[in-house]
Structure 1
């Protein structure tokens, strides 16, 4: 991690020299010297880190730690200097006669402080430089800016099923137990094995099996983990289709779960159960109505399995044999190629050596395969990987941890910092990629690349971590970029271990923490924050699932002058904490304060703010000063679903934040005509309260937003003609959502409709003419949602060869729809179909039998409609018998 700290600081010094060259005055020479010295020392760090990780010498470990501390000290000097510089710019003395003398004295003091601090670093660097020869630390030629080999992005089509090797027999046994018609009792089936052995992968393969999908009609998958709460587990079982409310308790949720499950034959997976209590607390919500319902438990502990089902032997997973291990390894190194022929003969021996080191542990094989996939296919490159591994690995999970550490150590310096940030999230949590990248951006971790936006570089970093199998991509967006990801708990263990050792972060527990850590994470309620490090860069206090009392932070926030990232989820305040005003280094500010009424005027003091995200329920005022922050990139205000009142529209004036890329959940107003045309860097825009009065201004403004990729509007009346015409010649817009009555009852001709759309959502449109005639001709459309009276006609026709790229179609609450036709070769790529609450629709279309569906979900449809689809006996069964995954609720 020392190379990550040094590399990061060297880049920051370079940026400071370039951006502040005119203003640095006497400080510039000091900063340039510091950059050059750290750059030189970085050349020795890879060898030092390698020696440290092999445990060659305790003195080398100390040398690396001291080098890291020097880098942190240099970063503190830079940020402190910039803090004083910004504070001077923002607030000079009130008496005009003393301004010049004050500024002169201030500059002299700052320059003197920087000089003294750099002088101290010079002494430490000189000592470290002399001692490196004593410890045998060599310059192995890696200079600043070196990155890994070219990475082939992970394919969106790759699934967990591809990684399942060696468990086919076990899968057959479990499937047979699940679908056994001779056992009508509710049964619990357990999969047991050490971490990294493939329990979840096997369970997913069983869960998605065609025979299993057709044997149950209610499904739920919930991750339990070590720090579970019964409340969150119950919400997970209820899933998106069942309503919950803020007033729900464990008792009310238990009743809702019980009622949901007793209405059908259910299959529920409880993944990663650590404690016996988890099952005993949940047992009462799983009804046994003699219909063959099942529960699958995955756990590392045999005693958990025995408590859940003492009469049936659990499925205890074994390690893979050498043949299976080689197959899994080669699948990762050479994706989408035949395992038998993919590996060049001159590399086969090295492949066997690498596989043997993994001891048959699937996660170790996958991670090591991900590492090797980034290397050139040469004997020299593969031999170096073999040599970098220890001769003797310890058994079991520790072996896996060693291999994960090897893959981590192979990362470029900036990716190490990006990977360690996963430790800021709770175990087994799904992580929003966009949020993670904005954290990285705020911290300055993302390297500059000519011609690429910083957010795009962040997505590249995620893809590389995914290819290396250090993270898992769980969901992708309409453009195939990462939407959500997660990290295996063993990988998270390594992440947190490295992060703590290198002072990257600390998880606050029992009122104690390493006060030298640069980031502090507080998940649980505390009385008072006992933390003395004023150089803190990131503070994470609570989250959306756990709002914490603010009293623990009262009077303490202002101490962290160098804070760049602040996430504050608090339950007992109704105002912006005034101490935030002094945190002028903040780049990322996310507040979840439900009673917040106002964004204060001093928000404009946060001149470095890039991301501002607000969750609250009754916001009444947003200060105009927010829009004077020139560095603003992303602003998310509370959505319509979260608030009880309508805040005023923004008043941006003339000083608009021209770097703004995301503006979400703002109300329509005069700003649409005055300020919106100036936001030429906008990529994502969401406006509420749009009406026909905004038609001309919106149309004129949109034509000037040439970089817009995603646009969403909500209103009682939507001026569709003006909007669609404004987009007809744009090539960046990929996603469009219109929620509200359109000002005409039919869509315009398809030549006028934006041809480049990939994702389209129409809700409450009130269209009287079938929209499919226009939409079916959009050549790039992949995702389509028609919801709540988007179309109020009785017949809908998907014409022959229409929707050539469509992958997903959602039809919901089209209350007047009676007949739907799919003509020959229409929807030739459709994989997912969702039909919900269309009460007059008589049957599924005949043409569906020719559509290559993978998944069909039916919700809240009439009993007659569902009866026609019953397996083997329904009148419409022949239309969908080819679909592997069918869910009817």
Structure 2
């Protein structure tokens, strides 16, 4: 919650509508202050206090003044005036100056101590002076804002829409956007009828309409409709957009085909594989958002005609594309009429097709009419109104703003309507929304990655009692509720797995980024550096034309070595000296030829980086330098390495990085040193994710340093012998009281009989662990919160599994892959909450227990490459359930629904 600076009572969730656009720099200033807040908290953490020399009172004074500015922007940051613009710019500059002062001070003190006492004293004195200057600047800004806010205190000048606070539920799995396509029923039936006509030739069916009219929504509803799922042997969804990536599209169509060295195969070779895969099968391919025929011209060569009713469904905005693609008459998407517009607005606002507030009905119909029948505009405004306090005054303000843009052309009109929802966002959500403009059009981003990026950028406002990642999920949920971010895919348990943004809303992000000056600073941009990627260090987007030696930059005296970076013309003109170069937060380093000794040092700049991804295509091992701990604020370290190679060896100093939250790597690629018994290591209380660590020793000392670990993936490879296995101390995993997800893998030569688990586990995946089946009942009885269980590659050995009643009371997803199980016995109903059962490559299994069908929550059974007798037993279960009237159970055999 933001607290007002003035004594006048102001609803902290008020949002002001006062014109066509809001002030530039306010969001950038707010984000800069939040970033500085995280920095000041970091250097005062217990793990850092024994390493750093600080004037604690001075830092706390700065914190208090920063909070005052945050409170001010939270209330007044959306004001539209020259005074506010000037203040916001000054605030952003002051916040970045403070970060500029902190970074070299921290790095100097984390060095090896070779500097003499006089140098350290002089450096500390200089740091204190720099902070004093920032404090003085903030005090001056505060005096100015206290003067101008008196001019804004007139209640008549502010016309707020009172918004509801953030929802009480935090789990993204609680979001289930209404799947009903209001007003589209007629479209749905007509298009499905066309696609399933008894006409054997391969046909292209185009859906045409302007952006936001609902083409993709209609196509997705058709694609997922049970009738279509049953009619076609194979379905694939392709998002085409304006970029032509034929090779990637072919690989997407082959995503379930194992291809060795696919990067070495030509497009023709991949196309041949695709042709063979599709031959003889009735397929449906949706090509969404087609802008030209280039992709189709290349792709059609690899699609067999089959003469069995296969179809290509195309969505496009361009009628001329349709003429080139197909002789078939296109299906034109019309605007919604007034009744359907009102029904859709009610559905998005109230989750029903009528208005429960009679006093809002007339003004609501005016708003729906003002959207001119454009579904996307209605949906987005419904998200805005659904967050309001349902007062006539608030709704009238929305209607008034719609009237002001009524005479614009279609595209501009739509963008202006969509902008209303952005303008009415609370300021703490605006950086999150604007950041979506970083991603390319139609990009699917995983929720976990997005949360990590938001946290790393430093612009998240904390929520009391929650981690920053949980705050990120709460803010994402809020943006989804407002229909500004789309759910792309769900994972297990209806958790949102990936999300994205409509291209028109992405246009809003880009436009508002320009106005707000949010993405024009190197502080927020990603930097791509590496051979083959000549991208600008500052903006991460534009091709470069200049090399700037960091020796020219005034902060170079604090760097351990000099590095040349590339800068584009735009950033060179905007930031002549690149004095904020060290404020880059998110960095990707690409080395196609591996890392040399010199390029290892490149990893260390800028030292204040928070999100670092290292990508390499080399075939040899590389080791990070011992000076890695100079990346003192690193929160996310992730690797993009060639499959299985190279292996990355991290230095012991990795345990001296208390800000690290996530360490993520491909399987079998990263080794951590054994730091048992060493002196000086700090507690890594922020560490939440540790993926994939090879031969990791889970000693009591190491586990105690990671008390808040939530996700752990470890793999073990070696010889046999209990003494060798006990060396890894896997039983200590049970000490991780907050662990929720665990993967343990082995090459099968090591037995994990002594493996122990904490009761907090929700997901457990075991691979090649060679445990006897009778031990599974211990797992089932001791893990009351387990929801996902995956057993792979003979994790459990022996031919027989006798289930005991009461095991796995909350399990929702069970996957058994390539295990030598022969007899699976269960007399009573097991897994009382199971929703999905997956059996893959279970060649020896004779049959499934018939009581599986009696599980009331079971929705799907997936069988892949299993014994015919297993398929027969599953068919019997399905038929029995259907005879009882249970139509919800679905059976899939080798991807085809039965």
What is the TM-score normalised by the length of structure 1?
0.83
Counterpart contact for 1:624–1:650, Cα < 8 Å: yes
Quote the residue 1:367 is aligned against: 380
Once residues 131 and 36 of structure 1 are traced to their aligned partners in structure 2, the CA distance between those partners, rounded to angstroms, is 15
Alignment of 1:14-163 (within 5 A): 23=55, 32-33=64-65, 36=68, 39-40=71-72, 43-48=75-80, 60=81, 62-91=82-111, 94=114, 96=116, 99-100=117-118, 102-116=119-133, 148-151=164-167, 162-163=179-180
Distance 1:739 1:27, change over 3 A: closer
Quote the residue 2:253 is aligned against: 237
Once residues 760 and 549 of structure 1 are traced to their aligned partners in structure 2, the CA distance between those partners, rounded to angstroms, is 52
Aligned residue among 690, 707, 716 for 1:689 = 716
Quote the residue 1:593 is aligned against: 616
Give secondary structure in 1 for the equivalent of 2:777: coil
Aligned residue among 668, 673, 676 for 2:695 = 668
Counterpart contact for 1:47–1:138, Cα < 8 Å: no
Higher deviation after alignment, 774-783 or 312-321: 774-783
Is 1:722–2:754 an aligned residue pair?
yes
Alignment of 1:630-645 (within 5 A): 630-640=658-668, 643=669
Once residues 719 and 349 of structure 1 are traced to their aligned partners in structure 2, the CA distance between those partners, rounded to angstroms, is 70
Distance 1:172 1:482, change over 3 A: closer
Counterpart contact for 1:649–1:667, Cα < 8 Å: no
Higher deviation after alignment, 826-835 or 840-849: 840-849
Once residues 60 and 141 of structure 2 are traced to their aligned partners in structure 1, the CA distance between those partners, rounded to angstroms, is 20
CA positional deviation for 1:203: 0.7
Is 1:612–2:621 an aligned residue pair?
no
Aligned residue among 360, 376, 392 for 1:379 = 392
Aligned residue among 847, 857, 865 for 2:892 = 857
Give secondary structure in 1 for the equivalent of 2:264: coil
Distance 1:471 1:376, change over 3 A: same
Give secondary structure in 2 for the equivalent of 1:711: strand
Distance 1:19 1:400, change over 3 A: same
Aligned residue among 429, 443, 447 for 2:461 = 447
Tell me how many residue pairs correspond in the alignment: 812
Once residues 706 and 571 of structure 1 are traced to their aligned partners in structure 2, the CA distance between those partners, rounded to angstroms, is 41
Once residues 563 and 704 of structure 1 are traced to their aligned partners in structure 2, the CA distance between those partners, rounded to angstroms, is 37
Is 1:734–2:762 an aligned residue pair?
yes
Q: Write the deviation string for residues 274-333 of structure 1: whole angstroms up to 9, x where unpaired.
A: 112222222212211211111011111111111110x21101101111111111111111
Aligned residue among 298, 305, 308 for 1:291 = 308
Quote the residue 2:9 is aligned against: none
Give secondary structure in 2 for the equivalent of 1:164: coil
Is 1:565–2:586 an aligned residue pair?
yes
Counterpart contact for 1:149–1:376, Cα < 8 Å: no
Is 1:355–2:385 an aligned residue pair?
no
Counterpart contact for 1:831–1:852, Cα < 8 Å: no
Give secondary structure in 1 for the equivalent of 2:277: helix
CA positional deviation for 1:417: 0.6
Counterpart contact for 1:330–1:339, Cα < 8 Å: yes
Quote the residue 1:519 is aligned against: 525
CA positional deviation for 1:186: 0.4
Distance 1:635 1:33, change over 3 A: closer
Alignment of 1:125-524 (within 5 A): 148-151=164-167, 162-181=179-198, 183-243=199-259, 245-309=262-326, 311-335=327-351, 338-340=352-354, 342-393=355-406, 394-478=408-492, 480-505=494-519, 518-520=524-526
Quote the residue 2:851 is aligned against: 823
Give secondary structure in 2 for the equivalent of 1:460: helix
Structure 2, unmatched stretches of 5+, are 1-23, 45-53, 550-562, 567-577
Distance 1:19 1:212, change over 3 A: closer
Counterpart contact for 1:718–1:743, Cα < 8 Å: no
CA positional deviation for 1:189: 0.2
CA positional deviation for 1:584: 2.1
Once residues 464 and 495 of structure 1 are traced to their aligned partners in structure 2, the CA distance between those partners, rounded to angstroms, is 17
Distance 1:15 1:816, change over 3 A: closer
Higher relative CO (CA 8 A, sep ≥ 6), structure 1 or 2?
2
Is 1:578–2:601 an aligned residue pair?
yes
Give secondary structure in 2 for the equivalent of 1:170: helix
Once residues 172 and 747 of structure 1 are traced to their aligned partners in structure 2, the CA distance between those partners, rounded to angstroms, is 52
Quote the residue 1:759 is aligned against: 788
Distance 1:772 1:355, change over 3 A: farther
Give secondary structure in 2 for the equivalent of 1:71: helix
Distance 1:121 1:706, change over 3 A: closer
CA positional deviation for 1:422: 1.2
CA positional deviation for 1:2: 4.0
Higher deviation after alignment, 382-391 or 779-788: 382-391
Once residues 769 and 545 of structure 2 are traced to their aligned partners in structure 1, the CA distance between those partners, rounded to angstroms, is 43
Structure 1, unmatched stretches of 5+, are 49-59, 507-514, 543-547, 861-885
Give secondary structure in 1 for the equivalent of 2:453: helix
CA positional deviation for 1:84: 2.8
CA positional deviation for 1:375: 1.3
Q: Write the deviation string for residues 511-562 of structure 1: whole angstroms up to 9, x where unpaired.
A: xxxx77742576999885566xxxx6x85899xxxxx999999712897212
Quote the residue 1:834 is aligned against: 862
Distance 1:173 1:736, change over 3 A: same
Q: Write the deviation string for residues 367-425 of structure 1: whole angstroms up to 9, x where unpaired.
A: 11111111123334333433454533324233321222111122222211111111121
Once residues 202 and 232 of structure 1 are traced to their aligned partners in structure 2, the CA distance between those partners, rounded to angstroms, is 25
CA positional deviation for 1:130: 6.6
Distance 1:8 1:815, change over 3 A: same
Aligned residue among 764, 786, 792 for 2:816 = 786
